[in-house]
Amino acid sequence: MWLYMLFLVLGIVLGMTDKIPERVVYRSTGFQLWSLIFILFVMGVGIGSNEEIVESFVSIGLHSVIFAVAAIAGSLALVRLFRPAIQHKKEEAS
């Protein structure tokens, strides 16, 4: 856990120093998207291949599944909603 946080903080600090060329920052957004999609896919494969988890879906219940899907959908919707405003502020600061 600490390793993940360390890399996150290092990335934030490096990003704030403006030492990374703009073309690298621009290309990293696509890389981030596809990396996230790949991670979600691998997690899905891991969950689907674990019989214990699959069998517990029934006991977990429909409400839990709906909650998880709603949380993901809400996160994606908020990112889509606020992304233009964040990008606009970033462009103004440049």
Q: What is the DSSP string of 75-94?
A: HHHHHHHHHHHHHHHHHHH-
The domain total for the chain is: 2
- pLDDT, tens digit, for every residue of 13-31? 888 888 888 888 888 888 9
* Domain shared by 7 and 48, yes or no: yes
* Domain shared by 44 and 86, yes or no: no
* Domain shared by 48 and 93, yes or no: no
* Domain shared by 31 and 5, yes or no: yes
* Domain shared by 43 and 27, yes or no: yes
- pLDDT, tens digit, for every residue of 39-48? 999 999 998 8
DSSP H helix total and E strand total for the chain: 4, 0
* Domain shared by 40 and 85, yes or no: no
Q: State how far the Cα of 66 lies from the Cα of 72, in Å rounded to an integer.
A: 10
* Domain shared by 44 and 14, yes or no: yes
Task: Decide: pTM greater than 0.95.
Answer: no
Give the domain extent around 84. 61-94
